[in-house]
Amino acid sequence: MLYSRLIKMDNSKLLSTVEETINKFKMIPIRDKPLVVAFSGGKDSTATIFALKSLGYDVRPVIIEMGDDPRFNGEDIARKLKNKKNIDAEVINLRSSEYQEGICQFAARDIAKYLAKIDSLGENESQCTPCYNARTIALTERAIWYGSNIFVIGQHLNDMATSLLKCYWTERYFQEFTQKENLAYEGNRMREFIAANPIDISYLTKMVKEERSATDDPPVEIINNQVRLIRPLAEVREYDILEFVGDYPHQSSNCSYRETEPRPFRLLVQWDLDRRLKEDPELESILYDLVMQGLNGDGTLKFRPRNKRGEYYPGFKPFLEKK
């Protein structure tokens, strides 16, 4: 399948693409079971809820409050969804003692560990991985509570390409600065480095073949022997998600208050990719094909180089494994 921003995807095409992705990767083997959907109020998770609901699935939006951003109001997000679309959403505050006492002690312990990490981030450390890990545990617990073995995240094609390129820029920065000058990751330096250099597709292809570059956001992830994470929007572009959501009052994610200059690494890569796609729409197809090379037939990863970053690039930056 080829993608280009030159071709606008209408709503019916987006829905058929989501359905094709679900079927291709056998994401939802039992159609009538509840689907826990991570809901932040942002456009991606909003589009995921609307798409799955339109396709006839039993969606159960779950809003997770990290309890560290006073501007994020889960109850308000749930209220808007109910008023605008008559869809109920559940709000979970991970720091609530009532919530922590209601889940298994191992899950509560691990969530507390990741929340503590978020609260004590060092310079140039990102909250993305500990936040993802804490949410993943909570969503896994909720899926099991509903008697389901699936939960849903609203990441899309551009997210898959972004994390593929994070591997690329990590290696190039490491070669240029860490190895040569013993300089660890620094956000302003990385931003300038990305902006000043082209993406060497031949080199990126070599990295994929040698298992040093892969998406971090595959269509399907096996969380444990009970639960899988799925991304039904994996083959939908961000551009088309904006069109699909339309004038629904979506908002940015609840980590935006931390996204100060020079911005987290992922955002630097994402914004740069957006710029490059406007200049060269065909880059989208190339990156999609490279992402697919790193996947098994069921949509899971063949390899996860991200979790070997400390081994591949010693001294690059402090790093947490992604679950």
pLDDT at 6: 39
Contact 38, 152 (CB under 8 A): yes
- pLDDT 10s digits, 222-268: 998 889 999 999 999 988 998 899 888 876 554 555 566 777 898 99
For the segment 34-55, the average pLDDT, to the nearest whole number, is: 96
- pLDDT 10s digits, 276-295: 999 999 999 999 999 999 99
Q: How many CB atoms lie within 10 A of CB 93?
A: 15
Maximum distance among all Cα pairs of the chain, rounded to whole angstroms = 58
Query: Is 195's pLDDT higher than 50?
Result: yes
How is 66-128 classified by DSSP, letter by letter? -S--TT--HHHHHHHHHHHH----EEEETT-HHHHHTS-HHHHHHHHHHHHHHHT--TT--SH
Q: What is the DSSP letter of 174?
A: I
Q: In the chain, which residue ranges form alpha helices assigned H by DSSP? A: 11-24, 43-54, 74-85, 97-101, 105-119, 128-145, 157-173, 179-181, 187-196, 201-209, 238-245, 265-279, 283-293, 309-312
List of residues 6+ apart from 61 with CB closer than 8 A: 37, 39, 45, 49, 78, 81, 87, 88, 89, 90
pLDDT at 253: 55
Scan for tokens 């972004």, then name that residue. Answer: 162
Distance CA 251, CA 46 (A): 10
Closest residue by Cα to residue 52 from 29, 28, 76: 28
pLDDT at 317: 87
Closest residue by Cα to residue 154 from 8, 293, 248, 18: 18
Q: Is the peptide bond before 198 cis (omega within 30 degrees of 0)?
A: no
Contact 239, 277 (CB under 8 A): no
pLDDT at 101: 93
pLDDT at 251: 67
pLDDT at 5: 40
pLDDT at 313: 96
Distance CA 76, CA 91 (A): 10
Give the domains, in start order, of the chain with CATH numbers.
11-312 (3.40.50.620)
Top-confidence residue, 318 or 167: 167
Residue 128 pLDDT grade (very low, low, confident, very high; cuts 50, 70, 90):
confident
Contact 5, 203 (CB under 8 A): no
Contact 152, 36 (CB under 8 A): yes
pLDDT at 58: 97
- pLDDT 10s digits, 173-191: 999 999 999 999 999 999 9
Q: In 210-282, which residue ranges form alpha helices assigned H by DSSP? A: 238-245, 265-279
For the segment 124-141, the average pLDDT, to the nearest whole number, is: 88
